[in-house]
Chain A
Amino acid sequence: MAERSVSYADAVAAVARAEGNLDVVSDELFRVARALEGSDELRMTLSDRQVPAARRQQIVEDLLGGQALETTTAVVSMIVAAGRSSDLVGIAREAVEINARDRGRSVAEVRTAVALTDDQATRLSAALSAATGHQVEIKVIVDPSVMGGVVATIGDEVIDGSVRHRLSQLRDTF
């Protein structure tokens, strides 16, 4: 991960810890990152330096204001105004890792074709904890390209149980 994203995430985590809401802020940053990944238009607008910073910040304010914590809105707004919105996904990922580390856990980024129910998420978290030998907290990303099953990424390890992967293996067989 880029050193700059890690530095930004450390600073964000320090502010959120001071406010006593790192848990919520890291989760909200994760959701903002998903929105950026899912919308080319949002990503391009927020990183377009031709658009005045005040307009880009107002877009952030409109999307998050009233819904997210003020800390989250302020942090995202500051990063966007600094012209670093392309780093937001990396910063969010690192902030989630920091939050999990604070609680002695690891983070698994889980991609599924459809959203998981609370029960499924709990069972998956338990299964991944058992498989890796340490407490795993899951962050679910709905990704239709997975087709079915799950792809779990924990640090450098990837557990690919997706239909897409199985189809690819089947294709390689012939």
Chain B
Amino acid sequence: MAELTIDTGSIAEAIRRNLEGFQPEVELAQVGRITEVGDGIARISGLPGAAVNEMLEFENGTIGLALNLDENSIGAVVLGEVDEIEEGQAVRSTGDILSFRWATPFWAGW
């Protein structure tokens, strides 16, 4: 097999061909940034509208729980794998307060 060559012309062509007609959906969201992370706790700035017990979504999809609402930052517990959470990553507020849903009432079968 010939040696792999990727030139700028073929890159531009591949991108143009595959993004033709693509319309990204635009949505407005409040996004904060992680300023510090350690011991399963992430400190986040830039989410002034977050509420206590609101679920936050980290860049990799992990959910966090907003607990300490300070004036300039939020302390959130990472409810998942903390190794992939890093300083500088974006965090979105979901608007949802932590809640649980039972498929069947917990008293069923009593």
Contacts and interface: CB of A to CB of B under 8 A. Distances in A.
Contact of B22 (A24, A55, A62): A55
A51 B19 contact: yes
Contact of A42 (B1, B15, B17): B15
B12 A41 contact: yes
Given A51-B19, A55-B22, A62 B14 contact: yes
Prevailing SS type, chain A contact patch: helix
B4 A59 contact: no
Interface residues of A, number: 29
A31 interface: yes
Interface string B1-35: 11011101011111101110010110000000000
Contacts of A4: 84
A62 B25 CA distance: 25
A55 B23 CA distance: 12
Interface residues of B, number: 21
A39 interface: yes
Contacts of A132: none
B76 to A, nearest CB: 21
Nearest to A2: B86
B96 to A, nearest CB: 21
Interface of A: 3-4, 24, 27-28, 31-32, 34-35, 38-39, 41-42, 45, 50-52, 55-56, 58-59, 62-64, 67-69, 72, 83
24 contacts: A24-B1, A31-B4, A32-B4, A35-B6, A38-B8, A41-B11, A41-B15, A42-B11, A50-B24, A50-B25, A51-B19, A51-B22, A51-B24, A58-B18, A59-B15, A59-B18, A62-B14, A62-B17, A62-B18, A63-B11, A63-B14, A67-B1, A67-B5, A72-B4
